[in-house]
Structure 1
Amino acid sequence: MLILLPPSEGKTPASRGAAVDLSALSFPGLEVARKEVMEALAEVSGRHDALEALGVGASLADDVERNRRLHAEPAAPAHRVYSGVLYEALGYASLTPAQRRKADEWIVVVSALWGAVGFADAVPAYRLSMSAALPGLGRLASYWKPRLREALSERAADGLVVDCRSSTYAAAYAPPADRTVTVDVVTERNGKRTVVSHFAKHHRGEFVRHLLTRRGKAPTSPEALLAVAQEGWTAELAEGTARRPSSLVLVLEG
């Protein structure tokens, strides 16, 4: 199984430890691209218009300043650095050792800076969105798309792909549609459904935790994934096509 997650906007910097070793990260074929993005990000982050260029407010100035020294910043496992709503709901720290091994094996984070990293890969905190454009590289979703297709093709070729990314990060990599299921969240009140936005992250995190903690074999088909979801949620499956992945819809009461 492959579980694709987006990075969190909020990140927890490591307080100590060695700097990132690009050659030690998962998907080593991305090393050259990672260096290019790091260098371009450092250059942009030192400009007078850095905040505007990266699309962030003044409250994140320290994060942007950190972008200039990522080669020397302490690194920590991705599951600790990414600390937003989805990751809090996933609760890696409270998993058993066996469940953590599953998480480290199954989860890949698609990142504007790293392209893709494993859950146990050690990286520093940074500030960069996949929607940003960097000098010489252009829009990052477009930059990463061919590179991620090549890097992740083998990893996505065996088993089911559970895609929990937002549309911004989904634009950078499209896994094989016939083996992929996206996870969507809606609320239903008086027969009317509304798409959940921010809180969808929380429920996706809970669902990934369920995949990691439940007993039994990992689901290998969209139908099997639906059965797993129905162990804890009201859920439906919208079947995909040759070009569009299936969609697992978690239905919450409004």
Structure 2
Amino acid sequence: MSDLIRISWSHKESPEAYTVLPGEEVVIGIQTKGRISVHSGKQSKTLAKAGITGILRGPRTFFSEKNTKSLLVYISPLLLSRMISVPMDQISDSSLSLEDLFSKEMISGLIADCEEADWKGQESTPTLEKFRLLLPVKEEKEKFVSEAVLRIKSSMGEIAIKGLASDLGVSQSSLERGFRSRVGLSPKEYAGLVRFRNIFKYYNSSSSLTELALEAGYYDQAHFIREFKKKTGFSPKQWFRQNSSSVSDLTF
């Protein structure tokens, strides 16, 4: 389970706007100091003190107040889907309060545990253990979804969804339904997300954007540029010109 969930503290001492790009994990955040808001166009919404952001299809801009400290839990949607009763596609592209998914008493206790850990200067690991105890994991159903995720990853996102369903012995509609329920995306969207994440894995070892596109699994440059813009809001050349020095440090 350790590869399905990880946890860390985030401390932003100054007010900061930052963009989160699509990733393969759902993020739970509990603020022990300060607050975070999400920006969309000219609108801004302050997030709950304990909230969750599902898998994203495009970039999302957040703003943290001065001296904001958060405990961040990065969790696989496959695992989270076994802890909650809400289908994962109801969380995708959304930032919700944890009270929308769990009892108010449970969340109050979780916030109190995080605030105590912050006050005592504790590492994140003990808090993670408490978090796991709060969320019992149900028996896995539709195990073919987990296998499909593994095959999409091992193929670097280059896989025919119809053939994948056939290989797993299920109908394509069952695979689509299972993916939306347990991952929050369609299999095709998930394969596109895997390719997108490959870009950052291979960036430092590629000699050009053309080579990077091929290594990441895109069949041509136009496809690469089009999909990159959907996920970041920028062309690859624009984005890497602004962010190349911090690619290895990005957490999204």
TM-score (norm 1): 0.26
Q: Which has the higher contact order (CA 8 A, sep 6+)?
A: 1
TM-score (norm 2): 0.26
